Amino acid sequence: MKRGGVVELTGAEIFVQCLQDEGVEYLFGYPGGAVLYIYDALYKQDQIRHILVRHEQGATHAADGYARSTGKPGVVLVTSGPGATNAVTGIATAYMDSVPLVVFTGQVMTHLIGDDAFQEVDAIGITRPCVKHSFMVKDVRELAVTIRRAFHVATTGRPGPVVVDIPKDITAQKTDYVFPADPTLRSYKPVTQWDPQGIRKASEILLEAKRPMVYTGGGVILGNGADELTALVRWLGAPCTNTLMGLGAFPASDPLFVGMLGMHGTYEANMAMHECDVLLAIGARFDDRVTGDLDKFCPHARIIHVDIDPASIQKNVAVEVAVIGDARGVMRDMLSALQASGRRLDKDALAHWWRQIGVWRARDCLRYDRDNVDVIKPQYVLEALHRLTRGDAFITSDVGQHQMWTAQFYHFDKPRRWINSGGLGTMGFGLPAAIGVQLAHPGDTVVCVTGEASIQMCIQELSTCKQYDLPIKIVNLNNRYMGMVRQWQEFFYQSRYSHSYMEALPDFVKLAESYGHTGLRIDRRGDVEAALKEALARRDRLVFLDFITDQTENVYPMIAAGAGHHEMHLSPDRELA
């Protein structure tokens, strides 16, 4: 077997060896014919922990949650055909939010490819529009270097999912294994340097600002730039807003933070966007949920944009200064340049700007009927959750109203604590994502805030939670409606609630119990806090909290799709003049 220090291994053994060499802790997967040699090789080792999910979508979301909460790549193994197609939703979810995943799909034997063989799909073709890159391994001698490259591409530059398709025969063939030292590809050169000119120009513009605004997104979190952002914003003394993906990059408890912006952002954040004279955008992609009507977007601002992906720049919004580079490094250099200038922003102008922001803040746009004791307001549950976890939990969510309320009411002070699907908006994400987060952070509190519709999309993963003893807390804000759909129907379709009522709901308490967990149903406002306390105290168990919430509550503020930032709707009792 051993010849002069070189070891001969099968493809399956090489696969395992490569993952070990990459430092992979967890592999989220599901077996099937095309990957049985690999499963056999996994059986013979104990370094990589394989997590057996109940559906391949769950594997990709779990790996995604692991990746978002740690910054390390999430790794997935699925079989050919239906295994690969089931994984697609999770791959697309990761792609839209730029999450580093490496997804291995089994493939039929090389000589059968293209023959409509049993469980054959063109996995590379099906995933092509939603991957950063993909590889098909055609020769066992290429396997190791391909895996190394897959990790390199997934984790560098603007991160993203990479698919590696491996035909079954490759995993049985043998070859010499040597660790491929060089993962680089001649055709792939992620940005590692940036233009000092751009930084200088940006600093000049910032120093002249009278109404500065800092708008940051997922890129600051992906690039681990939270500390640099905090230092920069504090030096500027400027208001800071985060996108849904950027929450936690700047501490929500800091007075300079004006909340999330965009469709369901705060009044003060959106008004400050509308009125600012200099906008510093970092690691954010001017998504349509953020900008609203582009013609009315930041009408008075000179815009500076920092992003690692040249294609994000000048894509939706024309900017005056663009710096293509890593958020963290660029912010560091920008702060040095500002400090070296010996100048500060105009103090009086800033004070005037903050007075204006204070007026907007005073609208208290997130106010809700807090004193109502007859029903459980979803916002009340989230405020209690925030208080009882001291704002220090990892929170995953699904998609809908509960997601927006979590973003508004759970004030994130740290990055990588808020794990949600923003770009694709994938219902079913929350629970499997929580699995990945809890595995990565075994001692920490992990809460999945969900809705009765979303949770049913990957409910089978309750079984995975049992198998691996994951003490996740599920906060189901059960309004018996696809609330977000209902809200749009109320506003834009004259309250015709077409197919958005959730009939025939399961008894979630019994359901949780049948999976071996604890379930609690809470339908009185007075019981909310005690139930949360009890659940959080059960550090050894998954607790499913089924909160029966107000069915008619809507998410405010709201900017209708296509409107401007200043055309926001507040809740009905405080509608803008």
Ligand X SMILES: Cc1ncc(C[n+]2csc(CCOP(=O)(O)OP(=O)(O)O)c2C)c(N)n1
Catalytic center residues: 56, 118-119, 168, 484
Q: How far is the CB of 308 from ligand FAD (least distance, A)?
A: 4
Residue 56 vs 553, nearer CB to Mg ion: 553
- Cβ-Cβ contacts under 8 Å for 555 (sequence gap 6 or more): 264, 401, 404, 405, 408, 484, 487
Site for ligand FAD in 231-250 (CB under 6 A): 243-246
Q: How far is the CB of 241 from ligand FAD (least distance, A)?
A: 9
Q: Which does 426 bind (CB under 5 to 8 A by kind): Mg ion, other proteins, ligand X, none?
A: ligand X
Residue 333 vs 452, nearer CB to ligand X: 452
Q: Which does 291 bind (CB under 5 to 8 A by kind): ligand X, ligand FAD, Mg ion, none?
A: none
Query: Quick one: tokens of 400?
Result: 């809908």
Are 399 and 261 in contact, with CB atoms under 8 Å apart? no
Q: Give Cα separations from 332 to 231, 308, 336, 339, 341 (angstroms).
A: 9, 15, 6, 11, 14
Query: Cα(30)–Cα(409) distance, rounded to whole angstroms?
Result: 36
Which among 96, 99, 102, 107 has a CA at the least distance from the CA of 36? Answer: 107
Question: Could you say whether residue 217 binds ligand FAD (CB under 6 A)?
Answer: yes
Are 419 and 393 in contact, with CB atoms under 8 Å apart? no
Q: Give Cα separations from 430 to 418, 474, 488, 512 (angstroms).
A: 11, 9, 22, 16
Are 1 and 24 in contact, with CB atoms under 8 Å apart? no
Q: Give the one residue of 265, 325, 329, 483 binding Mg ion; rule: CB under 5 A.
A: 483
Site for ligand FAD in 41-100 (CB under 6 A): 97-98
Are 123 and 135 in contact, with CB atoms under 8 Å apart? no
- C-beta atoms surrounding 115 within 10 Å: 10
Question: Would you call 316 helix, strand, or coil by DSSP?
Answer: coil
Residue 123 vs 482, nearer CB to ligand X: 482
Which amino acid, one-letter code, is at 258?
A: V
- C-beta atoms surrounding 223 within 10 Å: 27
Q: Give the one residue of 426, 438, 445, 464 binding ligand X; rule: CB under 6 A.
A: 426
Site for Mg ion in 460-479 (CB under 5 A): 479
Bridge partners (DSSP) listed for residue 304: 280, 321
Question: Would you call 392 helix, strand, or coil by DSSP?
Answer: coil
Which among 112, 40, 175, 64 has a CA at the least distance from the CA of 439? Answer: 64
Question: Could you say whether residue 146 binds other proteins (CB under 8 A)?
Answer: no
Axis crossing angle, helix 347-361 with helix 267-275, rounded to the nearest 10: 140
Per-residue binding letters, 382-421, with ligand X (x by CB under 6 A): ----------------xxxxx-------------------
Q: Which does 289 bind (CB under 5 to 8 A by kind): ligand X, ligand FAD, Mg ion, none?
A: ligand FAD
Q: Which residue has the tokens 């139930």?
A: 531
Question: Could you say whether residue 141 binds other proteins (CB under 8 A)?
Answer: no
Site for other proteins in 180-209 (CB under 8 A): 185-188
Question: Could you say whether residue 311 binds other proteins (CB under 8 A)?
Answer: yes
Residue 269 vs 427, nearer CB to ligand X: 427
Q: How far is the CB of 561 from ligand X (least distance, A)?
A: 14
Q: How far is the CB of 189 from other proteins (least distance, A)?
A: 10
Are 183 and 149 in contact, with CB atoms under 8 Å apart? yes
Q: Give the one residue of 26, 410, 412, 481 binding ligand X; rule: CB under 6 A.
A: 481
Q: Which does 24 bind (CB under 5 to 8 A by kind): ligand FAD, Mg ion, ligand X, none?
A: none
Residue 383 vs 452, nearer CB to Mg ion: 452
Question: Could you say whether residue 425 binds ligand X (CB under 6 A)?
Answer: yes
Residue 464 vs 476, nearer CB to ligand FAD: 476
Which among 159, 164, 57 has a CA at the least distance from the CA of 103? Answer: 164
Query: Cα(58)–Cα(73) distance, rounded to whole angstroms?
Result: 16
Query: Cα(213)–Cα(356) distance, rounded to whole angstroms?
Result: 13
Q: Which residue has the tokens 């339908």?
A: 523
- C-beta atoms surrounding 254 within 10 Å: 12
Question: By CB under 6 A, which span of 108-116, 218-226, 254-262, 478-486 interacts with ligand X?
Answer: 478-486
Query: Cα(265)–Cα(145) distance, rounded to whole angstroms?
Result: 45
Question: By CB under 8 A, which span of 305-313, 419-427, 455-463, 569-577 interacts with other proteins?
Answer: 305-313
Binding-site residue total for ligand X (CB under 6 A)? 19
Interacting residues toward ligand FAD by CB under 6 A: 97-98, 158, 217-219, 222-223, 243-246, 260-265, 283-285, 287, 289-290, 307-309, 312, 326-327, 399, 403-404, 422-423, 425, 484
Interacting residues toward ligand X by CB under 6 A: 398-402, 425-427, 451-454, 477, 479, 481-485
Interacting residues toward other proteins by CB under 8 A: 124-125, 128-129, 132-134, 136, 153, 185-188, 309-311, 314-315
Interacting residues toward Mg ion by CB under 5 A: 451-452, 479, 483
